[in-house]
């Protein structure tokens, strides 16, 4: 395959933050004395804040969501201050893309301030000029809008882009945009139905896609 650009999801793909978010969420629910059923946190992976909150409210209609979000946010920041690790192979694949002189972008379901904070903490803030956050689009993943906008900002046809994702929701978004999709599962199970390849890590995925 010949690609003209590469677009990455952020959480769980470039950064090892999904596990942190889950730990923070578990802390918040436990603090409020709530038991979370098995698989519930999996349903929140890859989705935007509003979608996630709608699923939480549907399960716990009387929940004090302001308190939940405060607890979740405080625990997340505590964990982030301990350091946000990159996923395996991030530095190598970004260096390889730069050597190929291919433009690259991020398409994330995080808000812009959160995305920039995490990129800075992980030492990646200077590696991406284009970051499409959820507040840049009218429709979040699994709609194709984030990936379509990323391709537009890169000045490349979506069908000429390679996308890396960790979640079913994100893969569906990139696939709907017409991109070649590599899915690298992180914390939540995936079917792979929206991926051209599945791999254990970024470098293996890049190899399967013919980027490396």
Measured in degrees and rounded to the nearest 5, phi and psi for residue 86 equal -80, 155
Sign for the CA dihedral angle at 103, 148, 53, 22 comes to negative
Catalytic residue, candidates 9, 16, 166, 186? 9
Catalytic residue status for 113: no
Whether residue 147 contacts residue 161, with contact meaning beta carbons closer than 8 Å, is answered with yes
Alpha helices in the chain (DSSP H): 18-31, 49-59, 65-81, 90-99, 112-121, 145-154, 168-176, 202-209
The Cα–Cα gap between 117 and 94 comes to 19
Which are the catalytic amino acids? 9
């Amino acid at each position: 395959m010949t690609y003209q650009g590469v677009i990455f999801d952020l959480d769980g793909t470039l950064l090892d933050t999904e596990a942190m978010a889950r730990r923070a969420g578990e802390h918040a629910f436990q603090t409020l004395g709530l038991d979370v059923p098995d698989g519930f946190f999996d349903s929140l992976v890859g989705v935007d804040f509003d979608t996630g909150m709608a699923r939480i409210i549907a399960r716990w209609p009387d929940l004090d969501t302001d308190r939940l979000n405060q607890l979740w946010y405080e625990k997340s920041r505590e964990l982030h201050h301990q350091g946000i690790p990159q996923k395996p192979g991030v530095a190598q694949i970004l260096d390889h893309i730069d050597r190929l002189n291919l433009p690259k972008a991020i398409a994330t379901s995080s808000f812009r301030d959160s995305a920039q904070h995490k990129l800075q903490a992980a030492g990646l803030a200077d590696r991406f000029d284009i970051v499409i956050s959820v507040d840049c689009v009218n429709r979040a993943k699994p709609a194709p809008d984030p990936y379509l906008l990323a391709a537009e900002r890169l000045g490349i046809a979506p069908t000429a882009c390679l996308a890396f994702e960790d979640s079913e929701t994100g893969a569906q978004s990139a696939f709907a945009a017409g991109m070649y999709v590599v899915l690298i599962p992180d914390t939540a199970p995936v079917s792979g139905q929206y991926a051209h390849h599945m791999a254990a890590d970024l470098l293996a995925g890049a190899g399967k896609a013919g980027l490396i």
